Each structure stands twice: as structure tokens, then as C-alpha cells.
Amino acid sequence: MQYYSLQKQSPNVDFKTAAITGQAPDKGLYFPSEIPQLTAATIQRFKTLSKGELAFEVMRPYVGDSIDDATLLQICTETINFNFPLVPITENIMSLELFHGPTLAFKDVGARFMSRCLGYFSKGTNQTSTVLVATSGDTGGAVANGFLGVEGVNVIILYPKGKVSPIQELQLTTCGQNITALEVEGTFDDCQAIVKEAFMDVDLNKKYTLTSANSINVARWLPQQLYYFFAWQHWVANYGDDVPMNIVVPSGNFGNICAGMMAKASGLPLGHFIAACNANDVVTRYLATKKYEVRQSVATVSNAMDVGNPSNFVRIMEIMQSNFSALTNALTSYQVTDTDTKATIARVYKTFNYLLDPHGAVAFVAAEKYLATRPDARAIILETAHPVKFPEVVEEAIGEQLPIPASVQFLLDKQKVAIPLAPSYTAFKAWMMQ
């Protein structure tokens, strides 16, 4: 498999090069030269495969010859070594819980896959890779956990000061070893802009072998397809092949929903996609007006979605061949306010005894809006993070204190270690060059 830049000004590369470099020299995102196509017989066989076998078969065409089959199977099996339950909430809305991994967030899948790939690529070399990652919440913790102690890889995480939850901040600032956290006096968009500019900086690239662990990196982005396949396995076992599985994704940088749309483009029989957005609704407005107007991101209670300029939307346009009509047939988007988000957490908990995190609540509202005129349809929402990661919002909504899961209890006794940084590339480069 080869990967080309969406700017079309750089040479094609293999999976290894795309994963190590993160972004093409022309600043474009990498995209596979072809989307693997699944036959009807393959789809039928996928219904009964184990998660590890299914993950291997999905990822193998994208990885190509960059990793041998035995190693790739091991990487895939380790990546998805936790549960992905599909839990009913109402008669027509189910929750795909993606928070059962080590950092209680869906980004564990991509981070675990990518870290193991880079660890494999660094074996037998004297070269150290430096992973740069901007986070609006969960990415930082997942990347820190996935890469902690991986030989030949150092990780630098940039996060916006005061705009991540307490547990999220502890997850990315208490690791030590090969993980460094930079606390940026700005927004996620500032962090992301710094990371993107670093890849184009000649001086930094002479000193470091840089790569990104954000979803701009194909090794982070593409494995997110896997839980759509797992959800589909559950779905057809419960409802058969004739009931469409519509999918509502809380969307910020649009890597997650883009991965799902890739799975559908490869032939997985999924239903309609709904992008659930908070006040940062550039895509919602684009689908309504055909005008793509980037705005400065604003802070919300669903902080992981606070992205004003989503990087991965360009990949969605590539999947849709830049056809606006095809896009609107495949994707719907709704904007959900903080007020509705908090009220929905309370309502769903009281009525259905199901606890949503703020991002899942945004998705639930969008699901209700989509299904309002489709009484016979069903949908799944992606619950992308455990509610305990957002205690202030959730506890206020339900009037109860949340128990802390054992998997993060140990963090409460740790001290945050982060380096303050001005929200400018000049400040970042000066720190890196010291």
C-alpha cells in the first residue's frame, strides 16, 4: 500500500514512512492510494472472526509489507485487548462504549496501535523518534499511556491550560520517563498549529526525527476503523443484515468519524453517519450552507471536541471525491449546546439509568434529532470517554458523586509535572532547540 499527500505535491510513500513522518513534506495529510474493497464473502466471514483476527485482516492491506504478518497480528491483538460493548439505552438508541481501555477513552485504540508500530520500526536502529502531539483532552493521556517506556521514542504533548479535565491532565502530566507535557497558554487550535508548523521547520527536522501521534498520522487514524467492525458484528447478531446501523459520532477533529466512513467505503455495510458537534460547528454549518468558514475554537463542557479547524475533514472530502451532494447523502450534522448537553446527562440518567459523559450526551441529542423523523430507524452513539473524566459536569447534572475507577485511582496521589509555554511557535521552537 502506498500513501499520497492530499496536497499532491510530495512523493508517494509506504506505511512505514507515513507513520514515521506523520505528515507529508508539502504539509498535506497522507491518504491510502486505494481503499481496500471487501467482498461479500469476506463480509460474511467477518461476522464470526475473533476481534484480534478481524483487526489483523482489516489493517493488513493498509500496512502492506512494512510489518510482517506475525508481528502485525500481535500488534493488533494487543491493541484491542479490552471490551467494546454495545449497550442499549432506549428502544432505538444503543451506546458503543469505547472507554474500557487503559485511559478510559476511544483513543486508546489508535495510540496503542501506533506506539507498537513505531516501537517495531525503531528496533535495530540507533535513531530516536520524537512524537509531537496536540491534545484537547483524551489524545494526550492515550498517547502517553501507549508510548510510555517504548524504546527509541520520546513523546512531547502540548495541551491547552485550563481546558482539559483534572483526570485528563493527570493522565498526560504524571508519566515521566519518555513523556513530556507542555502546558500551552492558549487553545487546542494553538497547540495543533504549533505541531503542524514544527513538521515544516528545517532546523527542528535536522535535530529531531519528528512524527505526530494526532489523528493526522495514518497509524493513529486508520485503526479507529476497528471498533466500527466490532459494533457491526454485535449489530448483525442482534438485528440481522436488513436493519441499517446508523452511527452518531461526537466530532471534533473528525478523525473518528472519518475512520468509520473509510470502513463503509471499503464495503462494510454501515448505515448513515451523523456528526454530533458542540459550539465548534464548522462542519455543521458547511453542510447547511456549502460555505466552509473556520472560526476560533470556543471552550465547552465537551472539551475534546473544541476544535475550530478540524484536520481530518479534508480526508472525508477525499473519500467523497469532493462531491458535496455525495457528502450530504452520507453525512448529517447537528450542533448541540452546553445547556442541552448537561440537561441530557441528567435526563438519560434519570429516565434510562444510563450515565453519559458530555461527548456521549452531545451524540445522544444528535441521535434523537436524526431519529425524530425516522421512527422505525435505529442508531448507535459512540461513547468516547468514561464519565469520570468529566466529574464537575456529570456530578452537577446527576446530583451524585462518581466513584473513581481503579484504573485511574492511582493518579489522584500523583503530582502534575508540566512545562508552561506561550501559545506561539517561536516559544516552542526556542524550547525545542535548547
pLDDT tens for residues 161-170? 998 888 889 9
Overall average pLDDT of the 376-401 stretch: 95
Return the domain boundaries, the chain: 50-81, 83-105+221-404
pLDDT classification of 196: cutoffs 50, 70, 90? confident
The residue with cell 482539559 is: 164
Overall average pLDDT of the 257-276 stretch: 98
Please report the pLDDT score of residue 15 as a whole number.
98
Catalytic residue among 107, 196, 264, 389: 107
The yes-or-no verdict on residue 123 having pLDDT over 90 is: no
Helix axes of 255-265 and 226-239: crossing angle, nearest 10 degrees: 60
Alpha-carbon distance 99 to 235, whole Å? 19
CA 178 to chain centre: 22
Query: 228 is written with which cell numbers?
Result: 466500527
pLDDT tens for residues 213-229? 878 899 999 999 999 99
Phi and psi at residue 214, in whole multiples of 5°? -75, 170
pLDDT classification of 177: cutoffs 50, 70, 90? very high
Domain spanning 83-105+221-404: which CATH class is it, in words?
alpha beta
What does the mean pLDDT of the chain come to?
Answer: 94
* Catalytic-residue membership of 107: yes
Alpha-carbon distance 304 to 252, whole Å? 7
Please report the pLDDT score of residue 190 as a whole number.
93
Phi and psi at residue 79, in whole multiples of 5°? -60, -40
pLDDT tens for residues 292-301? 999 988 989 9
**pTM for this model (two decimals):** 0.91
Q: In what order do the strands lie in the sheet with 379-383?
A: 86-88, 93-97, 379-383, 246-250, 273-277, 331-335
Query: 120 is written with which cell numbers?
Result: 517495531
Please report the pLDDT score of residue 74 as a whole number.
97
